[in-house]
Structure 1
Amino acid sequence: MINMFQYNWQIREDWFKWCETIPYEELTKKRMGGMQSIIHNLFHVIDCEQIWVNQMQGTSVIIKDINRISSLNDVKSFSNLTKPATESFIKSHTSESEDRTLVVKSRNGTTNSFSFDKIITHILSHEIHHIGQLSVWSREIGLKPVSSDLLFRDLI
């Protein structure tokens, strides 16, 4: 599991570098789908990761207003803040904890129970999904997207 998180984090870092090469207006431009901008898409995957991990750990969720995220540095700082907790949690996840569940109440009041493994898989696929949106948007502005080819990435 940790290899897939490392994969996502490598891709995320590559997108941060990619973002440094384009004008601020392109990073914040309202787009169709996803979280409607490159900056907000990147923030969203980090935010969701920390929300789920903190809930599974029973620790406080960091509350950030996506509308106050206005720069790439805001997003990079948030990633640097939250990634160590995720990494520590994932590395400590054992076969004994596979059966642990998290009960969450949705906005509409229904209650759901999810296994930790299902939540971890969701976190991984959620980031991959949003990274795909970034790839589409990069092509729309005439730029080559970050390669997400797993086979040619060195993972620890």
Structure 2
Amino acid sequence: MTEMFLYNWQIREEWLDWCETLSPEELEKKRVGGMGSILHNLYHVVYCEQYWINHLRGTPVLGNDMKNITTLQEVKAFSALIQPQTRQFLQSYPLEGANQVLEHQRKDGSIKLLPYEKVLRHITAHEIHHIGQLSVWSREMGLKPVSSDLIYRELD
């Protein structure tokens, strides 16, 4: 499981670097699909990683006011804050999380029992999904997307 988080973090960093070449207007431009903009797509994947990991850890979830995110630097800083927390959780997970179940309250008030393993798989699949949207948008802009090839990547 850790390998998929390492993969996502590596791809995320490459997308964040890729975004350095874009204007703030291009980063915030309204687009079809995803979270509506490149900037908000990137913020959303970091927020959701933090949301689920903090639920698994039993710690408070940080706010999600995406409207207040207006710069790439804010997304980079948030990612830099969250990644070590997730890494720490993953390093302790086999000892603490095996066979554990999260009781998650849904928006409608109902409780859903979610195995930790399923939540971790969801986090990685969710980011891959939204990163795919970035690839589509980059091609629509006539730009080469970040390669998402897992086979030839060195993950550490």
Is TM (by shorter chain) over 0.5?
A: yes
Q: In the alignment, what sits opposite 2:37?
A: 37
1:92-131 counterparts in 2 under 5 A? Answer: 92-94=92-94, 97-131=97-131
Between the two proteins, what is the percent identity of the paired residues?
Answer: 53
Aligned position for 1:82: 82
Hey, what does 2:51 align to over in structure 1? Answer: 51
Normalization by structure 2: what TM-score? 0.97
Unaligned runs of 5+ in 1: none
Q: Which runs of 5+ in 2 are unaligned?
A: none
2:24 aligns with 24
What is the total number of aligned residue pairs between the two structures?
156
Deviations 1:42-79 (CA, angstroms, capped at 9, x unpaired)? 00000000010011001111113100000000000000
Partner of 1:146: 146
Give me the CA root mean square deviation. Answer: 1.0
State the distance in 2 between where 1:123 and 1:62 align.
16
Tell me, in whole angstroms, the C-alpha distance in 1 between the residues paired with 2:121 and 2:8: 12
Alignment partners' CA distance in 1, 2:148 and 2:98: 28
Q: Does 1:71 align with 2:71?
A: yes
Distance 1:96 1:28 in 2: 40
Change in Cα spacing, 1:141 to 1:92, as seen in structure 2 (3 Å) is same
Post-superposition shift, 1:97? 2.2
Matched to 1:133, the amino acid is Q
CA distance in 2, matches of 1:15, 1:139: 14
Name the TM-score, length of structure 1 as normaliser.
0.97
